[in-house]
């Protein structure tokens, strides 16, 4: 179970232990989401959030983004630190996990949402920014993450496994070199929600390369 005094890598370790129970719990909601997509095309590309508390006592917000051919699912675990502030971690079983400090959430709230409810602000952040695009410099601890509304800056806690994100910068405050990097990160994020045709299947119009500008 995640406790307030846990370090980022401990939060991620406890969350990964929860994953079998989480995916088992998500079977019914995913089945229902697929059914709704078939009968109501207006639901496509509208982010959804499902709250879940695991048997281990961990709090989850599972973000889903349906499109024409697939549903992108991104689980976030959240908790409150010893100071009472909200924190969260974006959990990926076979990739990099991102721990989101309360500084990031406070900076984001100052720019986009000043409501007094910290949990509501956290939900809005996850709903709008579930897809991450990540880059890092070889031989350095610095990590840059692109999200829908800006740029997150952090450092490795466990190299190539866990990132601690500490700063949010919105688009209007990015330097020219950061704007160039942001364009690459935006492309990474788009790839996460694009359907990839399985090998051997017939080519469909949506499988063709995107036209270049």
Is 204 domain-assigned?
no
Is 200 domain-assigned?
no
Would you give per-residue pLDDT tens digits along the chain (213 residues)? 999 999 999 999 999 999 999 999 999 998 888 888 888 877 777 888 999 999 999 999 999 988 877 788 999 999 999 999 999 999 999 889 999 999 999 999 998 877 778 999 999 999 999 989 888 877 778 999 989 888 899 999 999 999 999 999 887 777 777 777 777 777 777 666 554 445 455 544 444 444 433
Looking at residue 67, its pLDDT comes to: 80
Is 97 domain-assigned?
yes
Looking at residue 192, its pLDDT comes to: 63
In the chain, the number of structural domains is 1
Is 3 domain-assigned?
no
Is 2 domain-assigned?
no
At how many degrees (to 10) do helices 102-112 and 118-128 cross? 80
Looking at residue 138, its pLDDT comes to: 77
- pTM beyond 0.85, yes or no: no
Is 203 domain-assigned?
no
Is 85 domain-assigned?
yes
Is 209 domain-assigned?
no
Looking at residue 195, its pLDDT comes to: 46
Q: Which domain holds residue 46?
A: 8-194
**DSSP labels, the chain:** ---TT--HHHHHHHHHHHHHHHHHHHHHHHHHHHHHHHH-GGGTT--EEEEEE-TTS-EEEEEEEE-SS-EEEEEEEEEE-TTS-EEEEE--TTS-EEEE-HHHHHHHHHHH---S-HHHHHHHHHHH----EEEE-TTS-EEEEEETTEEEEEEEEETTTEEEEEEEEEGGG--HHHHHHHHHHHHHHHHHTS--PPTTSPP-GGGSPPPP-
Query: What value does the CA radius of gyration of the chain take, rounded to a whole number of Å?
Result: 18
Looking at residue 212, its pLDDT comes to: 39
């Amino acid at each position: 179970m995640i406790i307030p005094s846990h370090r980022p890598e401990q939060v991620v370790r406890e969350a990964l232990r929860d994953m079998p129970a989480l995916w088992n719990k998500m079977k019914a909601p995913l089945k229902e989401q697929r059914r709704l997509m078939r009968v109501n095309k207006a639901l496509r590309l509208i982010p959804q959030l499902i709250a879940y508390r695991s048997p281990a006592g961990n709090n989850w917000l599972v973000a889903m983004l349906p499109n024409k051919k697939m549903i992108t699912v991104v689980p976030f675990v959240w908790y409150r630190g010893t100071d009472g502030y909200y924190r969260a971690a974006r959990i990926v079983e076979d990739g990099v996990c991102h721990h989101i400090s309360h500084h990031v959430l406070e900076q984001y709230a100052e720019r986009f949402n000043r409501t007094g409810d910290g949990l509501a602000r956290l939900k809005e952040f996850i709903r709008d920014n579930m897809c991450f695009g990540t880059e890092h410099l070889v031989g350095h601890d610095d990590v840059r993450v692109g999200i829908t509304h800006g740029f997150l800056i952090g450092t490795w806690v466990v190299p190539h496994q866990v990132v601690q994100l500490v700063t949010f910068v919105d688009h209007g405050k990015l330097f020219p070199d950061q704007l160039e990097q942001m364009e690459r990160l935006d492309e990474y994020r788009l790839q996460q929600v694009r359907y990839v045709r399985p090998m051997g299947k017939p080519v469909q119009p949506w499988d063709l390369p995107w036209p270049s500008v």
